[in-house]
Amino acid sequence: MQKDELIQLHTFLYQIRNQLEQIYENNGFNHSSYEKLEITPYQIHKSKREHKLAVFTLSKDIAGILSDNNGDLGLEKIANRLNQMAIRFMTEKEKENHRL
């Protein structure tokens, strides 16, 4: 996937997550893992790796929101797998921050 396509996907997932937060009124779901990345879709100067990490993290958040609000165990498993994929793209410093 090209970097510009990845940024478009990042933007799309960011908008979906924001909409789901509004629909489900956040319900105490923790998005700190995405916020700790300190990257938004509008920061096009960030690396392709950082945008990939953001995409997996946002996807995990979306699956988590839907899982929490629908009680679907399948979505919970997907959220866990997406979290594992996001960890693969993290640097050691990001992994340390992820654990905090």
Domain residue ranges of the chain, discontinuous segments joined by +: 3-99
Q: Categorize the per-residue pLDDT at 6 as very low, low, confident or very high, splitting at 50, 70 and 90.
A: very high
Tell me the fold of 3-99.
Substrate Binding Domain Of Dnak; Chain:A; Domain 2 (1.20.1270)
The average pLDDT across 18-33 equals 75
Tokens of 30: 């923790």
Which of 77, 32, 75, 74 lies closest to 57, judged by CA? 32
What local confidence, expressed as pLDDT, does residue 15 receive?
95
Q: Where residue 51 falls among pLDDT bands split at 50, 70, 90?
A: very high
**CA dist., res. 70 & res. 64, Å (int):** 10
> From CA 24, how far away is CA 68, in angstroms rounded?
10
pLDDT at residue 80, rounded to an integer: 85
3 pLDDT tier (thresholds 50, 70, 90): very high
